[in-house]
Structure 1
Amino acid sequence: MVTRRLDEERESAILRATYDLLAECGYQGLRVDAVAARAQASKATLYRHWPTKAGLVIDAVKFCKAAPEDLPDTGSLRGDLVAWFTEMATLMNGDQGPLLAGLFAALQSEPELAAELRSMRDSKAVYAEVICSRALARGELRPGYNPDLVDEIVPAQMFMRAFALGEPLDAEFVDHLVDDIILPLLQA
C-alpha cells in the first residue's frame, strides 16, 4: 500500500501541534487524539503517516527544534567552543530544555524512542569534529585529539547542572566548561 504524502502545510501543523503538546504534557502524557484535535487532522491520518508515537515525536522534534544554521567560526578554538556551548545553554535555558529533559527521562521505558533519539545524536557528532579540525589547521590542536570527548562531557554537564542541580547555564559556567574541562582534554 502506497501512503500519500501529506502536503507541507498539513505536515507542519501536525508536527507543530505534536511539539507544543509534548512541551505541555511530556512524552508519557502525549496522546495522538490530542495531536489530531489540535492540528485539526484525523487520527487515521496521523497513524497512516506515523504508525508509532515515537516516530511522530522524533519528526516533531527534528522539525521544531531550534538549531544553529552554521557552526560558529570565531577564528579560535576557544571562541568556537564558547559560542557553540552558549547556543546549547540558551536552548536548554529556554522552553526546549524541559521538553528535552522529559524526552530523555522517557528513554528508560520507551526503547523505540531511545533508538530514534540516539540516531539524532549521531547526526550531530560531526559538529565537534568540524570545530576541532579547524583548530588543528590553525595549529591550536595537535593530531590525536579526541573530538568525541565534547559529546561525552558537555551535554551531561549541562543537563546535570540545569536539571539535577538547578543552577544556571550562564557565561561563567560556559567559560568553566571550556577553559577547565574541554580545552585541557582536547589539548592533552
Structure 2
Amino acid sequence: MTGTPARRRRAGELESAIRVAVLDELHERGYPGLTFEGVARRAGTSKPVLYRRYPTRAAMAIDAFVSSRVATPPADFAGPLREDLVALISGMLMRVGADGVATFRGVIGEVDDATVARVGALVMSQVEGWLGGILDRAREAGELGPTPAPARVVRAIVALMRNEVLFVFGAGQAPDVEGIVDDVIVPLLRATTASPR
C-alpha cells in the first residue's frame, strides 16, 4: 500500500491517522512485521515524525492499542449485575481479538518492567472504573450487599478477565464467560459485599 502523500495536519488528526495506520499494519503484518517505515507510509507522514512521538515500535503499538481498545466501555451497562458482567468480559474479548493477543505477546518481550507496569495500571484503571460503575448500580438495586467490594476482589476479577483473554481465548479455546460469572465472580461479590454478621 502506498499511503497518502505527506501533508500538514493538525496534531489530533495526525495522531489519529498514525493510530489507524498502526492498527492496520498490526492486522496485516502482525507485531513482528510492524515497522516505523510501514506506519509512516500508511499514515502519510515521515519516520522522523513517528520517532518524535514514539521511542520504540512497542510504544507505538501500545498507544494505538490502548487508545482504540480500552478508551471507551465495551458495552452499555444498565443492569442487572450478571448481564453487565457477561457484557463486560465478552466485550473485552471481542475488543482485544486475536490481533490484540498477538500484539501483547510481541510487545511484552520488548519492553521494560516500568512500561509493563504503566500499561497494566492504565488498562486496570479503565476496567476497574467500568466495573466500579457496574457494582455501584448492582448495590443500589439490592443485587449486592451494602459493603463496597474490596479492592483485592476487584483486582481478582480483572485478573480473571486477563486470564481469559490471554490464556484461554489467546490459546484458541472458547472462554466460558457465563460460567466464570455464575460460578466465580457473582458468588465472590455477594460474599464480600454482604453485611457483617
1:42 aligned partner = 46
2:88 aligned to which of 71, 84, 90: 84
Contact 2:54 2:60 (C-alpha < 8 Å) held by counterparts = yes
TM-score calculated relative to the size of structure 2: 0.75
How many Å separate the matches in 2 of 1:41 and 1:108?
A: 28
1:162 aligned partner = 169
Q: Deviations over 1:72-119 (max 9, x none)?
A: 112x2112112222322333xxxx422221233131342265244213
Contact 1:128 1:148 (C-alpha < 8 Å) held by counterparts = no
Contact 1:54 1:116 (C-alpha < 8 Å) held by counterparts = no
Contact 1:55 1:116 (C-alpha < 8 Å) held by counterparts = no
| Range with bigger deviation, 102-111 or 40-49 | 102-111
Query: What is the aligned-residue identity percentage?
Result: 34
Structure 2: runs of 5+ lacking an equivalent: 1-7, 192-197
2:140 aligned partner = 137
2:121 aligned to which of 119, 122, 141: 119
1:19 aligned partner = 23
Provide runs of 4+ in structure 1 moved above 6 Å: none
Task: Tell me if 1:184 matches 2:191.
Answer: no
1:110 aligned partner = 111
Amino acid at match of 1:156: N
Q: Counterpart of 1:139 in 2: which secondary structure?
A: coil
How many Å separate the matches in 2 of 1:33 and 1:84?
A: 36
How many Å separate the matches in 2 of 1:5 and 1:115?
A: 33
1:101 aligned partner = 101
How many Å separate the matches in 2 of 1:157 and 1:45?
A: 37
Contact 2:61 2:103 (C-alpha < 8 Å) held by counterparts = no
Shift of residue 160 of structure 1? 2.3
Task: Tell me if 1:151 matches 2:158.
Answer: yes
Amino acid at match of 1:100: G
2:36 aligned partner = 32
How many Å separate the matches in 1 of 2:115 and 2:31?
A: 10
Shift of residue 6 of structure 1? 4.4
Figure out how many residues of one structure are paired with residues of the other and give that number.
176
